[in-house]
Structure 1
Amino acid sequence: MPDATEFEGLVAIVTGGAQGIGAAIADRLAAGGARVAILDLNPGSADHVWVEADLGNEESVSSAVSTVVETLGRLDIVVNNAAISAAGTIEDNDDETWARVLSVNVTGIARTARAALPHLRQSPSAAIVNLGSIVATAGLPQRALYTAAKGAVLALTRAMAADHIQDGVRVNCVNPGTADTPWVARLVAAAEDPVAERTALEARQPHGRLVAPTEIADAVAYLASPRSGSTNGTALAVDGGMQDLRLRPRSS
């Protein structure tokens, strides 16, 4: 069970926290004692403060962050989880789609951090955690645009960590493998053979299953915790070993 005092007195923002991984992160931080605000276009759990925000719009993001600080009195942790996906090779997505995905998945992080930094600099335990992906470190088929965005998130994390270490703001990244989320469930359901599709997704991760959102949330909590003061500019893979392990085929 989480230590209910780990984040006591701290305020956290989780973008895209209405469902899936974001909702698990919001619940995990709250279980550790944080007061959590969800920035999302859709309402999240009634257990958290919900502020409507469009991550693709600077004015919306800036206003949402200000609302959180006015409502909860401070800001200590920002989890940049919100993202939209795209499938296909570089031939399958037009310029408009590229602009939309990059605006939310990459520039959305910059918008949120830019609005949050004046408040984070006043915190004794300031942390930003960005959500990357296994696609940033392993080439997967049919994910060109999404890969470009998440690769940028990984590089941006390191740059932000270097820029703001003197401000007392730590910046880290979590790179999940394929997770058991509503979005993945929709992809599986739309496949020609859903059972075979899920089996294939599970099999490509060395531990043989999809990653649980709660596992990702625990990794985010570790990086966001005041106890991790010497962890900065790193990327934590939560992918069942997919990034680094090369296993021999199982004997039949």
Structure 2
Amino acid sequence: MNVSNRVAVITGAGSGIGRATALALARRGCHLALADIAEEGLKETAWMLANLGVRVTTHVLDVADRAAVRALPGVVLDAHKRVDLLVNNAGVALGGSFEQVAEEDFDWLIDINFNGVVRMTRAFLPLLRQSDEARIVNVSSIYGIVSPPGQAAYSASKFAVRGFSNALRHELEGSTVAVSVVHPGGVATAIARNARVPVDAPADEIARGRKLSEKLLRMPPDAAGEIIVRGIERRAARILVGNDAKFVSFLERLAPVAYWRILKKATAR
């Protein structure tokens, strides 16, 4: 897929993987409609794109807000006249075991990580169908392939993104709209630092979890953005970001039940 002179809508574009994907697309001449709940982050991303010669609009958006999501396609269409790419990247994290996590926090995460993907897809699919070649790119996670303890809510949401993306791809087969699902491994974003934690979780447990996350999140976001955009260019249905994601994907296929015992030993080392 040649993304030059296409128009991409990207959620979670104010930082991390969303920002990096925007930069990688802009370097190839793709125009951008950037959405994020954080206005300051959006402004910073737009500033970074200012000299790349593409049209950029910014849209403060909470993907959990049904009315705001429904209104966005009209705003983007007025500004850009078309939409060819939808990158559903916005996401949040939540630490703690299932029994520790409050019901409202669990629902909060699902509403953003999964329902937000569904809402944005439903809102923009009619516009994407008007393109001669369009693609929906849904960002899942390495935890949409394996499910570690302490990640029940996050893993559930990312498995849901994976299942939704795969079914939608089959439904859209033969149309001008294709679907990619992205599984990043350890990308050095702020998602772990910004994660919600249970109010009654022991402080030392939270500190250990964050320390481990920082250890595992090593790939620079810019590298992840390039991998994602190269996957879009070659029309990949599944995009694994990082050697850790590739290894874990292979391990899960090799040992679909026992993989966690192997990963637990490797993590301990």
Same fold at TM > 0.5: yes
- RMSD value over aligned CA atoms? 2.8
The corresponding residue for 2:17 is 21
Q: Distance in 2 between matches of 1:21 and 1:177?
A: 11
Amino acid at match of 1:7: V
Shift of 1:167: 2.4
The corresponding residue for 1:71 is 79
The corresponding residue for 1:238 is 242
Amino acid at match of 1:71: A
Query: C-alpha deviations, 1:69-119, integer Å up to 9, x for none?
Result: 110110000000001111111112222222211111111111111111111
Q: Which 10-residue stretch deviates more, 74-83 or 43-52?
A: 43-52
Which stretches in structure 1 are left out of the alignment for 5+ residues?
A: none
1:111/1:196 CA distance change after superposition, 3 Å = closer
Q: Distance in 1 between matches of 2:181 and 2:220?
A: 17
Contact kept, 8 Å, 2:192 with 2:213, in 1: the verdict is: no
1:180/1:193 CA distance change after superposition, 3 Å = farther
1:138/1:122 CA distance change after superposition, 3 Å = same
Give the count of matched residue pairs.
235
Matches within 5 A, 1:1-252: 6-43=2-39, 44=42, 45-46=45-46, 47=49, 48-185=56-193, 200-201=212-213, 210-225=218-233, 227-228=234-235, 231-232=236-237, 234-240=238-244, 241-244=247-250
Quick one: percent identity of the two aligned structures? 28
Amino acid at match of 1:53: L
Which stretches in structure 2 are left out of the alignment for 5+ residues?
A: 50-55, 196-202, 252-261
Q: TM-score, normalised by structure 1?
A: 0.82
Shift of 1:49: 1.4
Contact kept, 8 Å, 1:134 with 1:239, in 2: the verdict is: no
Q: Distance in 1 between matches of 2:77 and 2:92?
A: 26
Contact kept, 8 Å, 1:175 with 1:239, in 2: the verdict is: no
Q: TM-score, normalised by structure 2?
A: 0.77
Query: C-alpha deviations, 1:162-219, integer Å up to 9, x for none?
Result: 11123221111111112111233567xxx8599987774476x6xxx71221222123
Shift of 1:242: 3.5
User: Whose helix proportion is higher, 1 or 2?
Assistant: 2
